Amino acid sequence: MARKAARRATRRALRWRRVRALLAGGAVLGVGASATLAAWNDVEHGSATFTAGTFGIVGSTDGEGFAEHATADAPAMLNFQVAPTAMTPGATTYALFSVRTTASSVAGTVELAADAANGAGLGQYLTYGVRTVSSTTCDAAAFAGSSSDVVASGSVLTTGGAGARSLDAGGGSTVHYCFAVTLRADAPNAAQGAAVSPAWQFTATAS
């Protein structure tokens, strides 16, 4: 009996050690799980601000004083060298118009268009050509010295320009248009005293 009691006591002691071992293991596992949940962390964030640019052009009849002439009701009046108020057959007169972007503008292009009403009155007896020139000088010599045709010489006044010209951002470049308008040498007597106020539009597009 004593031996049986000793064996039972030994078995109880062994079971108790196993339970304590399992409890200890559970405690270790519990600490591990707790450490995972409490792991340190950090984050980074990124952001940006987007602002749209602006686009606009200004014009000048002398290549120096630039301003906006945004409506057909208040255009810039081209300063033709030979007063176009008493033209005679075969006479040609020249005028400059310069275009560039505004100081805060993005880059773009500009293109010349002619009004459909330019051919009325004296306009039916006038021809013209437009070339870009390298400076603010627009006369017979400057016109002849340029090979950059915008409107071919001898065109009727309703002819628009061919091709767009580049404009740098912030007024960084200027396109100087040189107009040459001629009263046809064969203008009939009906042209005497006739008048016309031709109009052109410079359409710019942001690039």
- Which pLDDT tens digit goes with each residue over 133-172? 999 999 999 999 999 999 999 999 999 999 899 999 999 9
pLDDT value at residue 83: 67
Question: Is residue 115 packed enough to be buried (19+ CB in 10 Å), middle (13-18) or exposed (0-12)?
Answer: middle
For residue 146, which of 136, 160, 131 has the smallest C-alpha distance?
A: 131
pTM: 0.77
Among left, alpha and beta (phi > 0; psi -120 to 50; other), residue 89 is: beta
The confidence score (pLDDT) of residue 162 equals 92
What is the spatial distance between Cα 28 and Cα 43, in angstroms, rounded to a whole number? 30
Confidence of residue 100 (pLDDT cuts 50, 70, 90): very high
DSSP letters for 123-138: GGGEEEEEEEESSS--
Assigned token pair, 70: 């945004």
Nearest to 167 by CA among 129, 112, 113: 112
Structure tokens given for 158: 């309703």
Task: Tell me what pLDDT residue 70 has.
Answer: 85
The Cα 67–Cα 26 span in angstroms is 85
SS3 assignment, position 64:
coil
Where are the chain's structural domains?
1-34, 57-62+70-206
Burial of 133 (0-12, 13-18, 19+ CB in 10 A): buried
CATH second-level architecture of 57-62+70-206?
A: Sandwich (2.60)
